[in-house]
A = this chain, B = another copy of it.
Amino acid sequence: MRLLSKLTAPLKSSRPPPLDAGAPPRVWIEGVEPTVDGGAFPVKRVLNDMVDVGADIFKDGHDAIAARVLYRTPGATEFKHAPMNYDFNPDRWFASFRVDSIGLWEFTVEAWPDAFGTWLSDLKKRLAAEQDIRPELLEGARYVTRRANFLQSDVSLKLQGFARELGDETQDVTARVVTANSKELAELMLGPLAADEVTRLRPWFTIDVDRPPAAFAAWYELFPRSQATIAGKHGTFQDTERRLSDIAALGFDVIYLPPIHPIGETHRKGKNNTRVAKPGDVGSPWGIGGTSGGHTAVHPDLGSLEDFRRLVKRAEDLGMEIALDFALQCSPDHPWVKQHPDWFHVRVDGSIRYAENPPKKYEDIYPLNFWCSDRQRMWEACRDVIHFWVNQGVKTFRVDNPHTKPLAFWKWAIADVRKKHPDVVFLAEAFTRPKRMKALAKLGFGQSYTYFTWKNTKQELTDYMLELTGPMSEYYRPNFFANTPDILHEYLQRGGRPAFRARLVLAATLSPIYGIYSGYELCENVPVHEGSEEYLDSEKYQIRMRDWRARGNIRDDVARINRIRRENPALQQLANLEVLPTDSEHVIAYRRWQGDNELIIVVNLDPMAVHETMIDVPLAALGLSPSQTFEVTDLLVGISYTWRGVRNYVRLDPEDKVAHIFRVTR
CA distance A411 to B199 in the complex (A): 15
Contacts of A38 in B (CB 8 A): 37-38
Asked if A436 is an interface residue, CB under 8 A from chain B, the answer is yes
Contacts of A25 in B (CB 8 A): 407-408
Interface 9-mer from A69-77, A124-132, A175-183, A229-237: A124-132
Q: How far is the CB of A106 from the nearest CB of chain B, in Å? A: 19
CA distance A51 to B138 in the complex (A): 56
Asked if A435 is an interface residue, CB under 8 A from chain B, the answer is yes
Q: Is the CB of B347 within 8 A of A406?
A: no
Contacts of A439 in B (CB 8 A): 28, 30, 58
Q: Is the CB of B91 within 8 A of A122?
A: no
CB-contacts of A21-61 with B (<8 A): 24-26, 28, 30, 37-38, 56, 58-61
CA distance A403 to B60 in the complex (A): 5
Q: Is the CB of A357 within 8 A of B407?
A: no
Q: Is the CB of B135 within 8 A of A348?
A: yes
Asked if A358 is an interface residue, CB under 8 A from chain B, the answer is yes
Q: Is the CB of A404 within 8 A of B358?
A: no
Contacts of A150 in B (CB 8 A): none
Asked if A434 is an interface residue, CB under 8 A from chain B, the answer is yes
CA distance A358 to B404 in the complex (A): 66
Asked if A405 is an interface residue, CB under 8 A from chain B, the answer is yes
Q: Is the CB of A347 within 8 A of B90?
A: no
Q: Is the CB of A90 within 8 A of B349?
A: no
Asked if A433 is an interface residue, CB under 8 A from chain B, the answer is yes
Asked if A139 is an interface residue, CB under 8 A from chain B, the answer is yes
Number of this chain's copies in the assembly equals 2
Residue from A37, A348, A403 whose CB has the most chain B CB atoms within 10 Å: A348
Contacts of A436 in B (CB 8 A): 58, 60, 91
Asked if A62 is an interface residue, CB under 8 A from chain B, the answer is yes
Asked if A204 is an interface residue, CB under 8 A from chain B, the answer is no
Residues A435 and B56 in contact in the complex (CB < 8 Å), given A125-B358, A349-B138, A358-B122: yes
Asked if A412 is an interface residue, CB under 8 A from chain B, the answer is yes
CA distance A643 to B436 in the complex (A): 49
Q: 1/0 per residue A348-376: CB within 8 Å of B? A: 11010000111100000000000100000
CA distance A348 to B145 in the complex (A): 13
Contacts of A26 in B (CB 8 A): 371, 406, 408
CB-contacts of A172-212 with B (<8 A): none
Q: Is the CB of B90 within 8 A of A434?
A: yes
Contacts of A358 in B (CB 8 A): 122, 125-126, 129, 131
CB-contacts of A374-400 with B (<8 A): none
Q: Which 9 pairs, one residue from A and one from B, show the smallest C-beta to C-beta distance?
A: A129-B359, A24-B408, A138-B348, A38-B38, A125-B358, A122-B358, A91-B435, A90-B433, A61-B404
Given A26-B408, A60-B405, A131-B358, 4 additional A-B pairs, CB 8 A? A26-B406, A56-B435, A60-B436, A129-B358
